[in-house]
Structure 1
Amino acid sequence: MTDEQYAQAVSFWTRKDAAAKKMDQRTLYDWIDTFLAAHKVLALAVGGSDFIRCTPLEYTWHEGALWIFTEGGLKFKGLRENHHVAAAVFETSASFGGLKSMQIEGDAAIVEPFTDAYNAAAAFRKIPLEALKKLPEPMWLLKIVPTEITCLNSDFKKEGFGSRQIWRAEAADTPQKN
């Protein structure tokens, strides 16, 4: 590819979004809330100076955050250096013109085991604390608070909106429902 071709490819959505009708942030957040609550698996991308990792993980969505219990692994190499993460949640059986997905950017925090927040997340996930305490190594808890969510939904077009909508935390006046 030439530099011009890269620039053309990079700017595709920016150019397309310029003419697309935008949803209000509250309506978009309601769709996001429903979508994330209905799914359970995401692909989490982390990275550092010369390291990247993308890991499929189970999550729960509540209190405006993604909560992930995990044994550990190389994702922590990236998290040690950089707490800014990306994740993708999507319909696995999408057809052409029937896409529903989101790309999430956010900040990850590692919740200290057996704190009030950790215990509440375990209760929400229905994981007994006694089982967690008996593990030979800790089960870590990641809390990811989204800062931006890019939604792709072909059905948005049926409502007169662009198929790509972006929710931004700093622009949102949306209550945390879950």
Structure 2
Amino acid sequence: MDISDFTPEQIDKMIDGLFAKLKIQRWKPSKEELEDEITDFLNKMHCCSLATCGKDGVPRISVVDYVNDGLNIYIFTEGGQKLKNIKENNKVAVGIGVSTLSMKAVRGVNIRGTADVFTDDMPEYEEAKKLFKPVFDNFLKDTGTPLNVPKGLSKIIRIIPYEIVYYHNNRGIYAAHWKP
């Protein structure tokens, strides 16, 4: 048996029962409330798992740091297989989550989106790079020198979501779906 064997109504009833046992009021936020919840979560986290898949069909997952601008995710990278995969297939997935082995503590997002890659000769790169100022400032503070990346090496991946599934059990939110 699998969850897909149940109707949406049956699943809702099971989830309502789960939250009742946890003594948490279930909440189904509006689109605007959900966007605020997701943005708040993304602002607090800075590490994600980025899943890509090239034309060979072999999936790759990379644990990377990110910054966000609202719901859009930005990743500063030197390249590698993830970029090769994105060139072949710009559909990506991102997972971000936290838990303390408690059902109440589950909070996270599953994001499906479209990735663009900006190189350091593009105006979009310079604009997106501004989002990484705290990262560069921390590097300077930690090392005493600015981060100098050779011209042409660094790229910025921008992920624009087309679907997000959000969980925040402690607030009664289970599998809330967001779409633009």
Query: Normalising TM by the smaller chain, what interval?
Result: 0.7 to 0.9
Partners of 1:78 and 1:67 in 2: CA distance: 17
Q: 2:98 touches 2:105 (CA, 8 Å); kept in 1?
A: no
Q: How does 1:1-178 map to 2 (within 5 A)?
A: 5=1, 8-11=2-5, 14=8, 15-17=10-12, 22-48=28-54, 49-91=56-98, 93=100, 95-126=102-133, 127=136, 131-132=147-148, 134-135=149-150, 138-157=153-172, 162-169=173-180
Shift of 1:58: 0.6
Alignment gaps of 5+ in structure 2: 17-26, 138-145
Shift of 1:94: 5.1
**Counterpart amino acid of residue 174 in structure 2:** S
Q: Kindly, what percent of the aligned residue pairs are identical?
A: 24
Choose 24-33 or 88-97, whichever is displaced more.
Answer: 88-97
Shift of 1:115: 2.4
State TM-score, norm by structure 1.
Answer: 0.76
Relative to structure 1, is the Cα distance of residues 11 and 113 closer, same or farther in structure 2, using a 3 angstrom cutoff?
farther
Partners of 1:32 and 1:60 in 2: CA distance: 14
Instruction: Report the number of matched residues.
Output: 157
Relative to structure 1, is the Cα distance of residues 51 and 116 closer, same or farther in structure 2, using a 3 angstrom cutoff?
same
Q: 1:107 touches 1:145 (CA, 8 Å); kept in 2?
A: yes
Relative to structure 1, is the Cα distance of residues 117 and 63 closer, same or farther in structure 2, using a 3 angstrom cutoff?
farther
Shift of 1:137: 5.0
RMSD, aligned α-carbons: 2.6
Alignment gaps of 5+ in structure 1: 170-178
